[in-house]
Chains A and B, each alone.
Chain A
């Protein structure tokens, strides 16, 4: 199915790359998952040009845990949208897993999102009145997976986030932390190359936030690349690399030598109202 999706746009150089990558012929020699070069993004707000990104260059290797930080308006959200193939850059190169994503069509971008990217949002973004299981299944609806495989993969993903007991619960029967874990399971279900988390702890209390970060750290230990947007230094402290945005440019990009272990931190926070989560 995926070969069909992209090959109908034959003649486009990039679609052959979509093909080869998705059919498992990745020739990713240098181990770089993300290669971004001089990325620009300009909006037109009425007559005014807004320069959200002014020449961002960054490389991310497989297995990294990157925190992207910056004040609001620094361009980090725009950057995440482009990273997540929801938006296209005005100028510049973006290679994801060796695919030149910058020139793909809407449908091809949808395919990349389906196969390569898992999203975790601040507001969880689960479908209401839909069980945890069905929410997690959602990405598999848009790929060619048998019914049996879809169920197995969904249960497996829910196990990874420790929610196998609640697969038939509805979002309104779950606590904020549990909802976010369902969202993480949904992000994982298609075995993506990267998990993009946009302020995943923004709607959670501090203990639950650390719990979510614990999950991210465990997933990262299993080799999953995670890119996290946050403006909270406490949360960024769990990541291995800090990238700070300011005015559409990268202000600093350094390894976090003092990475905190969420499993350790969680022991120092008293679990006063853990039962209220139920």
Chain B
């Protein structure tokens, strides 16, 4: 077949100019490698954002008592006193999609340690609270079931509180006074930083909820129940199971509304994921600019090549090459350059991503999609930018081409 001959002619022409062929490919190589690496970094970023959100507790559900309603006036969520410790206990035993449960209440107050004082929030929680929040006690220990039962006056400090009350000394084992009630510090939590709303999550003191109820808030009910689902995928199942259980326990008739509210943080997770996806697209579009520049490089070199090889084109025409044979040859040359550049670029991109993830300790992900995308794009670039020079070559007049010096 004649087309095979023309392909062979194209390969021979590329081989004759190894250096130029390589330099032309370099643009595509860099472009494709950049696209692949950027996509890998972007997807790595997406992954670590998801991880961080998971660590903030995307599988956490918060159950509030419903709003009180008196003569049509609704007071607001949490004002009712319908949640009990037994509800918390029942959720933990009867809902298979639930991993940890912690009743919760809170009180605000001035905290005094020695000659320093600090205003903060005191969270009354259960023993599973740190599991739910994926938190770790840095020094000392967390309180036990025994402390809950006995409403012991012990507490665990958030990092901010510990830094402010005990700037120079070890807080564990020391006594502090919360609203004049003496508490013993048994542990300090690791730093968790700001939450999605910008609040300092470390500006907190954790204490057994029974102690907070009895000694600080004097509010004998539970203000909320914190629940963690077994995984972020089972949130909806957990939510359903809890709703059914509580409706049954609270004897709510079918046509009546819930006397509690369940909130989750999946909206936050979705927003954060969307943000990191935008980041990926942004990185990829910046990288594709370099692919475009690589394509223009191909056009540039092919145009120079057509001028430089005008005589060759004339010779080919004089021995019987038609315009379209010349067009095909130059198009194949451009295509081979961009294809080969694409393949080498993919190899470099994969290697580059691996290097980045091992040196910068940044997770990178190479997907089949990103490889196909950059490969397909480089073929398109070759065809698109190869066409104009190829057409220019094909339209040359053989007499002028032969005389060209």
Contact A119 B16 (CB under 8 A): no
- Whether B9 lies near A141 (C-beta < 8 A) is yes
Stretch at the interface among A56-64, A122-130, A174-182: A122-130
Interface hits, B1-20 → A, CB 8 Å: 1-2, 5-6, 8-9, 12, 16
Closest residue of chain A to B4, judged by CB?
Answer: A147
B320 engages A121 (CB within 8 Å): no
Report A82-93 CB contacts with B as 1/0, cut-off 8 Å: 001011000000
Proximity string of chain B (103-132) to chain A, C-beta cutoff 8 Å, 1 when within and 0 when not: 000000000000000000000000000000
- A207-249 vs B: 1/0 string, CB under 8 Å? 0000000000000000000000000000000000000000000
In this complex, which of B311, B314, B315 has the most chain A Cβ atoms within 10 angstroms of its Cβ?
B315
Segment from B210-218, B251-259, B321-329 that makes contact with A: B321-329
- Structural contact, A125 and B402, CB atoms closer than 8 A: yes
The CA of A129 and the CA of B17, in the complex, are separated in Å by 9
**A142 to B324, alpha carbons, bound, how many Å?**
11
Interface assignment of A45: CB less than 8 Å from any CB of chain B: no
Q: Mark A18-55, 1 if CB is under 8 A from B, else 0.
A: 00000000000000000000000000000000000000
- A81-B399, A125-B402 are contacts. A138–B316 as well, Cβ < 8 Å? yes
A113 close to B (CB within 8 Å): yes
Does B398 make an interface contact (CB < 8 A)?
Answer: yes
Once the chains bind, are A113 and B318 in contact (CB under 8 Å)?
yes
Minimum distance in angstroms from A95 CB to a CB of chain B: 20
Q: Are B323 and A113 in contact (CB under 8 A)?
A: no
Question: Given known contacts A107-B322, A141-B9, A186-B319, is B399 in contact with A129 (CB within 8 Å)?
Answer: no
Contact of A130 among B1, B16, B319, B322 (CB under 8 A): B16
Chain A contact-residue range equals 20 to 34
Interface check A76, CB cutoff 8 A: no
Contacts of A139 in B (CB 8 A): 319-320
A129 engages B320 (CB within 8 Å)? no
Q: Known: A125-B315, A141-B5, A142-B5. Is A87-B399 also a contact (CB below 8 A)?
A: yes
Query: When A113-B319, A142-B325 are in contact, do A86 and B311 touch as well, CB less than 8 Å?
Result: no
**Could you say which residues of chain A place their CB within 8 Å of the CB of B322?**
106-107, 110-111, 142
The answer to whether A113 touches B12, judged by C-beta atoms less than 8 angstroms apart, is no
Which residue, of A121, A130, A140, A142, has the highest number of chain B Cβ atoms within 10 A? A142
With A86-B399, A142-B2 already in contact, the answer to whether A113 and B320 are too (CB < 8 A) is yes
A1 within 8 A of B: yes
Rounded to whole Å, the gap between the CB of B144 and the closest CB of chain A is 85
CB distance from B133 to the nearest CB of A (A): 72
Residue of B nearest to A1 (CB): B2
- The answer to whether B317 has its CB under 8 Å from any CB of chain A is yes
CB-based contact B311/A125 at 8 Å? yes
B362 to chain A, nearest CB (A): 46
Instruction: Assess the B320–A115 pair: CB atoms within 8 A.
Output: yes
B16 contacts A129, CB within 8 Å?
Answer: yes
- Complex: how many Å from CA A125 to CA B316? 10
Q: Which residues of B contact A140 (CB under 8 A)?
A: 5
Chain B residue with the shortest CB-CB distance to A110: B322
What residues on A are CB-neighbors of B316 within 8 Å? 138, 142
Q: Is B312 an interface residue (CB 8 A)?
A: yes
Task: Indicate if the CB atoms of B320 and A114 lie closer than 8 Å.
Answer: yes
Distance of A61 Cα from B256 Cα, bound (Å): 112
| Minimum CB distance partner of B312 in chain A | A127
State the Cβ distance, A17 to closest chain B Cβ, in Å: 18
Contact A144 B16 (CB under 8 A): no
- Point out the residues of chain A lying under 8 angstroms from B12, CB to CB: 130, 134
User: Which residue on chain B has the smallest CB distance to residue A119?
Assistant: B318
Contact for A121 among B312, B325, B402, CB less than 8 A: B402
Which A residues touch B325, using CB under 8 A? Answer: 110, 142
A143 adjacent to chain B (CB < 8 Å): yes
With A and B bound together, what is the CA distance between A107 and B324 in angstroms? 9
Give residues of chain A (111-160) contacting chain B, Cβ–Cβ below 8 Å: 111, 113-115, 119, 121, 125-130, 134, 138-144
Nearest neighbor of B401 in chain A, beta-carbon distance: A86
Q: Is the CB of A142 within 8 A of B321?
A: yes
Within 8 A of A (CB), among B302-342: 311-312, 314-325
B residues within 8 A CB of A121?
402
Min CB distance A81 to B, Å, is 5
Closest B residue to A128 by beta carbon equals: B16
* Closest residue of B by beta carbon distance from A189: B319
Q: For A128, what are the chain B residues with a Cβ–Cβ distance below 8 Å?
A: 16
CA A113 – CA B321 in complex, angstroms? 9
Q: How far is the CA of A186 from the CA of B320 in the complex (A)?
A: 12
Instruction: State the Cβ distance, B395 to closest chain A Cβ, in Å.
Output: 10
- Kindly report which residue of chain A lies nearest to residue B323, judged by CB atoms: A106
Q: What A residues does B317 contact at CB under 8 A?
A: 86, 110, 113
Shortest distance from the beta carbon of A202 to any chain B beta carbon, whole Å: 14
Smallest CB gap from A107: residue in B: B322
Minimal Cβ-Cβ distance residue in B for A115: B320
A interface residues, Cβ below 8 angstroms from B: 1, 81, 84, 86-87, 106-107, 110-111, 113-115, 119, 121, 125-130, 134, 138-144, 186, 190
**What 4 pairs across the A-B complex have the smallest Cβ distances?**
A114-B320, A139-B319, A110-B322, A142-B320
Instruction: Given contacts A114-B320, A141-B2, list 15 more A-B pairs with CB under 8 A.
Output: A1-B2, A106-B323, A110-B321, A111-B320, A115-B320, A126-B315, A128-B16, A129-B16, A138-B316, A141-B5, A141-B321, A142-B320, A142-B321, A144-B1, A190-B320
**Interface pairs (26), CB distance under 8 Å:** A1-B2, A86-B317, A86-B318, A86-B398, A86-B399, A106-B322, A107-B322, A107-B323, A110-B320, A110-B322, A113-B317, A113-B318, A121-B402, A125-B318, A125-B402, A127-B16, A127-B312, A128-B16, A134-B12, A139-B319, A142-B2, A142-B320, A142-B322, A142-B325, A186-B319, A190-B320
